[in-house]
Structure 1
């Protein structure tokens, strides 16, 4: 099968990277529950306000402390306050976590929906592992920020603001001295935050690359083992692991600076408060209870500050993740539903002056014109790299032609909705891709509505797949394994044919459907293909001319151009390269004899 690739699609303009507005926009688009968010914020405010009252109770207790002054009502009041604060705080944390989980679930839902409608060109130019990383790792970073750090950020902000307000009320001079230390910490924390953003962005890129490597190697583990490439892949994997390790060390260094710095700030503030506060207590400007309250409020300021710092560190990571998620969400997508339905499919397919080139690349197809009559078989042959598979991709509208048109009858295929147009096709390729699941699931894959057992068994019989299914202990419920690895190539091909039969396509596309099979499997698959091709417009890509000698017309494509068309006999007579192809395939087989197909071709050649 020919390999195709596509240039990068045009990207939509968006705000500059690293912009927190991107993150806010993305969160708003998930439509979080406003009532739940409001209740969560109210509970956070209530919990914080109650926490701010506790030091005042402590102040009164210290200033007027005596055993005789203690009463049951005071103890009960303090106990009730603690219980209410605990309940409010717990409810707030739960609700904010709930919102965080809902936001991330909605975000992953949008991404998953987007991934399914992105065009083939996107997957041509973006590695699968990186795409998976966007869906899992990057959304995980956003989830961690919202579900784990957002709660402490809100409560921390409220606690800091409330504590500072109360401290200003108690003694504005001591509060001013205390606040004078904080700007010093900011001088260090701000550049550290920027550094953390750069490190996090690099870490996310490296994580995506490592995920890509894992996906690639593990999905093709048999190729790795058959090639004795374990050592090479281990080296590649170790390189990725060490890159992640280095980024982790950089992140650890920044965190190692931030945590002690926050502890230093706390100790400086504590020393200042105790020293300066002790002087004011001795002078009578401040009571001992007020000094204790100051220290308690200081704790309510410094502890949330560390949480706020952690939040901003995580927020920088989330911004980097947001950039990649937004890139994916903003990518151009296919419109599956706009356009009219295909009402008549038994019309000729007309290709006129078709041209296609990948962006900034050499043309793949040039001025291709041909006509496929309904119910006929058209074979497409020629040297590898000539554009045969690209032509199939254009017919199925995976790519947009750069020149010319493709019509069904007199109607350009672009006027049909993608869903309606693609439903007309049945595609059987050399690879015959299967999805992990049962044989029943794979045969019924993509079929609208429920499939009865009678319909399933009829399709299986027509595809000659029922013969080996009966021999399996679990029959149609047998698991095929990842990519159908538990089945032989011929069995996979027949399941693909049964799937196509069940869909009842009007146009059939066969891309070297038997080229990788042994002679015994090929015979069975050919018989199944005859049942599938019966009464359908069929286009066949084939390297072995023996499979297409009976086609109604054969198109010979060289370097993106049709250099000959006609029946097998006509091309043998007038097309030099086709005749060379036929001659090469008329050589003796490994046993030194001429097989039946070769004999037929020789007879045809002699007749000519």
Structure 2
């Protein structure tokens, strides 16, 4: 089924490649005919003595070997190149198809935790598929060709001896089939477990600030390790299978050889076989056929792994979708008025079918009018957005758009006419222009670049973003970073609004979008979801939602006169200063604030600097260790595995020594056929018995090798996967700010690096040792038996094979470095897409994202093709040069024998030792790609180890905990700028003092540096100059872990993890929290009733990214997470921004009471000044400086910046 994704060119390439594999595979068995004749010639010269005729025959046979070398080299090179190109192209198509199938899925598909591993699936499984359908497929087909042609040759030469010898084949197949069946089943279970583990890692990396703030790295690693342990235990079940397969395969081949020579001599003695050459041809042919199963094992495993990986992808790809955004089906009217009517809507989320969110909601949204939905968190307001966007399907009821059920419209057309600004706006990696331009419709995208830029600027003016963008050094070409980390929350929301309105949609949905829209934009059907009533006062119709129903409707004034729920909430939001001075409207406030809020201090990135950093990072992401040093370093780290490595080494030495032993036995057996009488029969029996003894030795040795290789592989991948996550999580925040360290890229490395190292330190370790033992022992024996021929074949043959293999390793390294970086980039795109799938969907960006991903895949294919032209040359040489070595050996050896310098026995010992050694080396260099990847992977891991975080535990600070029980804070002349943003300082000469037990607040326009202060207090970063004191201790001298234990953080957009509600609340706690502690924290955060109403209460899963809950619900769970720690220092970054008014009042009271504790200091960052009115001290910030300080009343009396902000927010005015 994989090959359904190949096109005509791919099929043509595959046809030529596989035909070439058949030809090159058959070449080796055909040479047994030549070899048999050569043996007969050498045997004849020892008895007949006609040296001239002997050399003439040998020279003719030598030419045949040269012809075969040329043919196999050319065909092998072209065929391998074809299969690598076809494999890369087919895998690209399949990756793209898998990515497309995910984009076609309904939104609830992404609510499942497993979907977080989509980036890992498309990268890791894609790599496995590529290996299985490219080079490994070629090797498998070549092996099958070798297998069948070997037996055809054997049967054609002497059918009786061939049939007797072939008795080993059924046993080999039976063992192979049984082992492979169970191995595939185990591999599938291991892969699924690793995918679940990767979700944990990916969530942690993408929310690294939360992990650091709550000291949850260890907890995360333990959770990750639980999955790794499960995979480890499952994987250990492969050990006996690998031991059985490795040992019995070699045993059967050698035992079959013993049987063949024993029976061969009897047939020779009885006259059924004419000469020794016939026996050797049959024995070597059958042996080649049998050993081809062994040599095919890695290739077959790769093909099997590709099948298993494809099965995982097909599970997703086979899913049928009800709401396909790429489907052409559905109505696409030429015009749209925008009249919406919701009729008796009932709905429950697929993940919680028993909890009905909407219970008969009915509402009209007239065209061109503004309708607002207000109500408590979880009342169903945001659910309406999801249904209008057709992310979900209502249980019953209908939504009409211009009188037609929205289910009848084309999904993409519908979403392109309904634009959404979400509560937590998401921007994508790229420039500001690219982000806003993502909202352009198809007609606008066809416009010239200059016109598109003008449309972007116009949209930014309407969303009050143009001024701050223009102040940036690169303007609209400024990079925003991953998750728009280079911009403040207010800046992100204004750009998000610009992106939504740029296409002039007929319907606009504002889900808790607090930033304002230019009031001059009219003729939009607008739905506003809001908690703050001040943002909806001007709406044409306001609907109050409670328990999934509309309970009140009307204009602001009408609802106030009804004296119902809306009026009660409105009165709660009125803080009561009845200054008669005319106040600016909400719309005017945002226009005014934006004139000053985005100063040059909000400059976030210099694209040139980032580009250079990226180059430096790419060059530095390697410890520079050689393969040998990498292996020795990793060996030294696992002393508990030395016994198993000793077993592997001992087994490999026996296996490697088998080759020269075979050479000696075979040369002696050739001599047997020149003997007469009982002595010949006795020696034939003896040497056949020696082959059987060799078989028994390999049976036990290889069983230990197979068993122990899997054992050490499972242990090593477990340890290194765990260590990799530990190493990543300990890095400074600067590390995660770098574009190349996006969460998708790091998650991809967490998967691929340990897997590559595992292969090197288990199966490939044994392979390397086996080949080295073979090459060294064969060379020593060859030179010892005949130094002239030995030296010529070692340096004239074996050296060529080794040099060719080394060249391929170097070329593979360069190719892997390039493709590795590209795969990381594509994985980052996949992760970003999954994380922002609702934004992708609402903007109908599926086609755009798919094109970007397809282009990234094409770049990888181009790199692979370009690199393969050179990299495959030494590989083709190493796979065919053994024929040239054989030709050299026969030519020079025949000369030495003819001159009487060597005996026939002496020649064959030397000759066969070097031939076997060369074949072992050629086999080894067939694995260079995986060995190269392992070396690169090991160096990446060593490089991570070598990174010394500036902010971390050290021997000097690890026991340095904050002194005393108080929580005094101070900053002295603090300057700060982000390493990724070198243009200007974010904070300039910041100094302040906050006494223990005080409630302090930082306010100011977006981008002024408020949240940066929180980051410095949390010690995510250190100041460029100046210092921050906690109880008069410089926090840079304290243990970060012990310091952070004394504090809690509530972020503006708090992440939740795909575990239970309880696990999210107790995140990072150093003790097992009691049920009473958890419930009390929930009660303080006003989330207890909501949690108890859930089907599984505290044990309810939160879903991927906490998408099971609304923004307000997520925020309150995060507040509970902060309060359960009973911190000395409480940091609130817009802690109540997502709460409805009633919830806000209760939670604010809880926070106020927490702040009133004399042993606790509270630092709040706020846009809404009502939340910090009661603070003991308020610091007003602007342009990275503190410009005013005082209490609320003192600052009002100053009539400065704070006073202007209060007026703008109508903090001190009564309702009209």
Which TM-score tier does this pair reach, normalised by the shorter chain?
0.7 to 0.9
1:355–1:365 Cα contact (<8 Å) kept:
yes
- From 637, 648, 651, the equivalent of 1:43 is 651
With over 3 angstroms needed to count, the CA separation of the structure-2 counterparts of 1:373 and 1:178, relative to structure 1, is closer
Structure 1 residue 578: Cα displacement: 1.9
Distance in structure 2 (CA, Å) of the matches to 1:416 and 1:256:
55
**Does residue 1118 of structure 2 align to residue 503 of structure 1?**
no
Distance in structure 1 (CA, Å) of the matches to 2:904 and 2:1035:
86
Corresponding residue number in structure 2 for 1:178: 793
Structure 1 residue 484: Cα displacement: 0.9
Corresponding residue number in structure 2 for 1:306: 922
Instruction: State the SS of the aligned residue for 1:350.
Output: strand
**Does residue 781 of structure 2 align to residue 161 of structure 1?**
no
Corresponding residue number in structure 2 for 1:60: 668
- From 642, 650, 660, the equivalent of 1:34 is 642
With over 3 angstroms needed to count, the CA separation of the structure-2 counterparts of 1:505 and 1:479, relative to structure 1, is same
Distance in structure 1 (CA, Å) of the matches to 2:737 and 2:1161:
29
Structure 1 residue 21: Cα displacement: 7.0
Kindly provide the CA deviation profile for residues 146-192 of structure 1, in whole angstroms up to 9, marking residues without a partner as x: 32322222111211222222222333333344332445556655544
Corresponding residue number in structure 1 for 2:937: 321
Name whichever of 379-388 and 282-291 sits farther off: 282-291
Corresponding residue number in structure 2 for 1:564: 1188
Name whichever of 96-105 and 439-448 sits farther off: 96-105
Structure 1 residue 25: Cα displacement: 6.8
Structure 1 residue 17: Cα displacement: 4.0
Structure 1 residue 238: Cα displacement: 0.9
2:798–2:917 Cα contact (<8 Å) kept:
no
1:354–1:401 Cα contact (<8 Å) kept:
yes
**Does residue 820 of structure 2 align to residue 207 of structure 1?**
no
Name whichever of 64-73 and 154-163 sits farther off: 64-73
Distance in structure 2 (CA, Å) of the matches to 1:579 and 1:160:
85
- From 1190, 1196, 1208, the equivalent of 1:584 is 1208
Corresponding residue number in structure 1 for 2:952: 335
1:463–1:497 Cα contact (<8 Å) kept:
yes
2:885–2:915 Cα contact (<8 Å) kept:
no
Instruction: State the SS of the aligned residue for 1:358.
Output: coil
Instruction: State the SS of the aligned residue for 1:245.
Output: helix
1:58–1:289 Cα contact (<8 Å) kept:
no
Structure 1 residue 512: Cα displacement: 0.9
Corresponding residue number in structure 1 for 2:1073: 451
Distance in structure 1 (CA, Å) of the matches to 2:1143 and 2:730:
36
**Does residue 474 of structure 2 align to residue 2 of structure 1?**
no
1:200–1:251 Cα contact (<8 Å) kept:
no
Superposition TM-score, scaled by structure 1 size: 0.87
Kindly provide the CA deviation profile for residues 556-595 of structure 1, in whole angstroms up to 9, marking residues without a partner as x: 0001111111122221221422222122212xxxxxxxxx
Distance in structure 1 (CA, Å) of the matches to 2:621 and 2:830:
31
Once the two structures are superposed, the pairs formed by residues 69-468 of structure 1 within 5 Å of their partners are 69-70=680-681, 75-125=688-738, 126-179=741-794, 180-184=796-800, 189-250=805-866, 252-254=868-870, 256-278=872-894, 289=905, 293-294=909-910, 296-310=912-926, 312-333=928-949, 334-336=951-953, 338-359=958-979, 360-468=982-1090
With over 3 angstroms needed to count, the CA separation of the structure-2 counterparts of 1:387 and 1:21, relative to structure 1, is farther
With over 3 angstroms needed to count, the CA separation of the structure-2 counterparts of 1:350 and 1:362, relative to structure 1, is same
Structure 1 residue 313: Cα displacement: 4.8
Structure 1 residue 391: Cα displacement: 0.7
Distance in structure 2 (CA, Å) of the matches to 1:414 and 1:190:
49
1:463–1:531 Cα contact (<8 Å) kept:
no
Once the two structures are superposed, the pairs formed by residues 467-478 of structure 1 within 5 Å of their partners are 467-478=1089-1100
Distance in structure 1 (CA, Å) of the matches to 2:1013 and 2:730:
21
**Does residue 1158 of structure 2 align to residue 542 of structure 1?**
no
Q: How many pairs were matched up?
A: 591
Structure 1 residue 481: Cα displacement: 0.5
Instruction: State the SS of the aligned residue for 1:363.
Output: coil
1:30–1:106 Cα contact (<8 Å) kept:
no
Structure 1 residue 88: Cα displacement: 1.2
Distance in structure 1 (CA, Å) of the matches to 2:1214 and 2:1138:
26
Structure 1 residue 63: Cα displacement: 1.3
2:812–2:929 Cα contact (<8 Å) kept:
yes
Corresponding residue number in structure 2 for 1:486: 1108
Kindly provide the CA deviation profile for residues 456-505 of structure 1, in whole angstroms up to 9, marking residues without a partner as x: 22222222222012211111111001121101112112211222221111
Distance in structure 2 (CA, Å) of the matches to 1:105 and 1:67:
62
Kindly provide the CA deviation profile for residues 392-420 of structure 1, in whole angstroms up to 9, marking residues without a partner as x: 11111111122333223333333432222
Kindly provide the CA deviation profile for residues 170-222 of structure 1, in whole angstroms up to 9, marking residues without a partner as x: 33333344332445556655544432221121122112222222222112212
Distance in structure 1 (CA, Å) of the matches to 2:694 and 2:626:
41
Q: Which runs of 5+ in 2 are unaligned?
A: 1-486, 490-601
With over 3 angstroms needed to count, the CA separation of the structure-2 counterparts of 1:447 and 1:67, relative to structure 1, is farther
With over 3 angstroms needed to count, the CA separation of the structure-2 counterparts of 1:440 and 1:121, relative to structure 1, is same
Instruction: State the SS of the aligned residue for 1:82.
Output: helix
1:150–1:311 Cα contact (<8 Å) kept:
no
Distance in structure 2 (CA, Å) of the matches to 1:279 and 1:403:
82
Kindly provide the CA deviation profile for residues 59-83 of structure 1, in whole angstroms up to 9, marking residues without a partner as x: 2222124684435665444312211
2:1049–2:1122 Cα contact (<8 Å) kept:
yes
Distance in structure 2 (CA, Å) of the matches to 1:19 and 1:164:
25
Distance in structure 1 (CA, Å) of the matches to 2:1149 and 2:656:
77
Structure 1 residue 104: Cα displacement: 4.3
Output the aligned Cα RMSD: 3.2
With over 3 angstroms needed to count, the CA separation of the structure-2 counterparts of 1:128 and 1:67, relative to structure 1, is farther
Distance in structure 2 (CA, Å) of the matches to 1:85 and 1:61:
21
Instruction: State the SS of the aligned residue for 1:508.
Output: strand
Name whichever of 116-125 and 13-22 sits farther off: 13-22
Structure 1 residue 84: Cα displacement: 0.8
Kindly provide the CA deviation profile for residues 496-519 of structure 1, in whole angstroms up to 9, marking residues without a partner as x: 122222111121111112224444
Name whichever of 314-323 and 536-545 sits farther off: 314-323
With over 3 angstroms needed to count, the CA separation of the structure-2 counterparts of 1:583 and 1:21, relative to structure 1, is farther
Distance in structure 2 (CA, Å) of the matches to 1:602 and 1:263:
86
1:463–1:528 Cα contact (<8 Å) kept:
yes
Q: Which runs of 5+ in 1 are unaligned?
A: 587-597
1:196–1:254 Cα contact (<8 Å) kept:
no
With over 3 angstroms needed to count, the CA separation of the structure-2 counterparts of 1:448 and 1:490, relative to structure 1, is same
Distance in structure 2 (CA, Å) of the matches to 1:375 and 1:547:
18
Instruction: State the SS of the aligned residue for 1:513.
Output: coil
Distance in structure 2 (CA, Å) of the matches to 1:474 and 1:16:
49
Distance in structure 2 (CA, Å) of the matches to 1:347 and 1:430:
23
Instruction: State the SS of the aligned residue for 1:563.
Output: strand
Superposition TM-score, scaled by structure 2 size: 0.45
Distance in structure 2 (CA, Å) of the matches to 1:116 and 1:534:
35
